[in-house]
Amino acid sequence: MRLHEFQAKRLLTDYGLPIPRGAVALTADEAEAVARDLGTSPIAVKAQIHAGERLAAGGVRMAHGPSMAKSAASALLGQRLVTRQTDDEGQIVRRVYVEEGVAIERSIYLALMIDASGALVAVGGREGGDGVEERKRKGEFTSETLVLSVNEPIDPADLSTFIARIGLEGRAAVAAAALVEGLRRAFIELDASLIEINPLAVTASGEIKALDVKMTLDDNALFRHPDLGSLRDEVEGDRVKLSAHRDQLNFVQLDGDIGLVSNGAGLGLATLDMVCAAGGKPANFMDIRTTAKSLDIAHGFALLLDNPKIRTLLLNVHGGGMQSCDTIAEGLGIALRRSGRKLPIVVRLAGLNADLGRYRLANFGCAVIETADMGEAASRAVSVAAGRA
């Protein structure tokens, strides 16, 4: 679950994160009032969306004085912001964060995450700031890594070596050492999957300030944090995805015309690859989880049947020990009856209860195009969608 910058900053100040003064505004007038209360200049007016690289996209604006802050806020609020990390439609800005400007002497990069080997690590870079994403894309970003324990505080000697390697000294180094340990506690206590501070600014007087924070929480651990669940921004999140999540599905909307249904993420990806290789355009990626019941699956099919772009459905199922063909067939039957929509359905059922699945489809009155293997199923679905049947 992604958090907004203002949510992450609020959570992490309890763990010692030093941040500039600031507050959230829902309207331009509120932004002006916040700027007046801050009483400093310049002031940063920052769009709160679930994507980075906002500065380059005009989502972070510097203002001198309350009236400029107001006009900056009104230029952002209600608008769609497209950054390199959003899709082409961007995200609607519903809030801005109004924050005092900081005179930056240097910008550091600091993040905590779980790495590919399954260890909790702190990653630091001497040169933080806006250029990090671009340098990473070019492979020019150099970083230091420190492995952290989930059970014990960080060894002070290891920590000071890490801090020195990312170029911090004196007061800033002392403050940063306390910060890394605080963030380690926050990461564990809040079940985070990412905390990224970029930039961590060093001021002329040697203070450190977190100017931007990106934070995600582990969805699988939210059951331990009922209070944090309320931070989910339903408007910002993808509604289709949320409803699919509730129904034990993983669902990603794409813009093609072939609706795909498979059990298991691996078979789902394989189906997507085969359809693309045959020249087709998938409308989605869907993985039916093993715990999904036929009614959950029917909701998943409804997501597809509600999409007017879809010209055909491709059902590629290999029944396994946890999810059998007949359960999925039943889900399809229920969804088709509910929606009343008629469209060609290319079916390949194999494995557990494949015959029972076919029987169920016939009982629901589903007219299906049966195929023998999944290669044939993919190419058939592509020709059906192209109107060649």
Closer residue to another protein, CB minimum distance, 72 or 317: 317
Scanning 29-37, 82-90, 95-103, 332-340 for contacts with another protein by CB under 8 A, the matching segment is 82-90
Residue 182 binds another protein (CB under 8 A): no
CB of 86 to another protein, least distance (A): 7
Cβ contact 80:87 at 8 Å: no
What's the closest the beta carbon of residue 361 comes to another protein, in angstroms? 19
Smallest separation, CB 224 to another protein (Å): 7
Q: Pick between residue 198 and residue 312 the one whose CB is nearest to another protein.
A: 198
374 binds another protein (CB under 8 A): yes
Q: Measuring CA to CA, which residue among 365, 364, 6 is closest to residue 214?
A: 6
**Cα dihedral sign, 248-250-255-260:** negative
**Token couple for 84:** 């390199």
Within positions 141 to 160, which residues make up the interface with another protein, using CB under 8 A? 141, 143, 149-151
Residue 133 touches another protein, criterion: CB under 8 A: yes
What is the rounded distance in angstroms from the CA atom of residue 210 to the CA atom of residue 286? 38
Total residues at the site for another protein (CB under 8 A)?
75
Residue 379 CB, nearest approach to another protein (Å): 10
Q: How far is the CB of 340 from another protein (least distance, A)?
A: 30
Three-state secondary structure readout of 121-133: EEEEECCCCCHHH
Of residues 35 through 74, those in contact with another protein by CB under 8 A are 50-52
150 burial via Cβ count (<10 Å: 0-12, 13-18, 19+): exposed
From candidates 33, 92, 177, 265, binder to another protein by CB under 8 A: 265
Report, in Å, the least distance between residue 71 CB and another protein: 28
* Phi, psi angles (nearest 5°) of residue 215: -145, 135
Beta bridge partners of 149: none
Give me the 190-219 binding string for another protein, x by CB under 8 A, dash otherwise: -x-xx-x-x---------------x-x-x-
267 to 296, contacts with another protein by CB under 8 A?
A: 267-277, 282, 285, 289-291
Segment 311-340, which members bind another protein (CB under 8 A)?
318-322, 324
Q: What angle do CA 169, 175, 180 make, to 5 degrees?
A: 105
Options 204, 223, 226, 308; binder of another protein; rule CB under 8 A: 223
Clarify whether 133 is annotated catalytic: no
- Give the three-state DSSP class for 96: strand
Strand, helix or coil for residue 114: strand
Amino acid in position 149: S
Q: Least Å distance between CB 250 and another protein?
A: 11
Residue in the structure block whose two tokens are 């010692």:
16
Interatomic CA distance for residues 349 and 303, integer angstroms:
21
Q: Is 113 in the site for another protein (CB under 8 A)?
A: yes
Is 178 one of the binding residues for another protein (CB under 8 A)? Answer: no
Residue 87 makes contact with another protein by CB under 8 A: yes
Residue 105 in the binding site for another protein (CB under 8 A): no
Cα Dmax for the chain = 77
Among 97, 109, 144, 181, the one annotated catalytic: 109
Q: With the C-alpha atoms ordered 162, 164, 169, 170, is the resulting torsion angle positive or negative?
A: positive
Q: Which is nearer to another protein, 105 or 373 (CB)?
A: 373
Q: CA angle at residue 13 from 217 to 99, to 5 degrees? A: 100
**Pick 109 or 301: Cβ nearer another protein:** 109
Q: Report 232-261 residues binding another protein (CB under 8 A).
A: 252, 254
Q: Which residues pair with 209 in a beta bridge?
A: 201
Examine residue 370 and tell whether it contacts another protein (CB under 8 A). no
Catalytic residue among 5, 30, 100, 196: 196
What stretches of 59-216 show up as alpha helix (H) in DSSP? 66-76, 131-137, 156-165, 170-189
Clarify whether 109 is annotated catalytic. Answer: yes
Query: Roughly what angle, to the nearest 10 degrees, separates helices 156-165 and 170-189?
Result: 120
Which residues are known to be catalytic? 109, 196
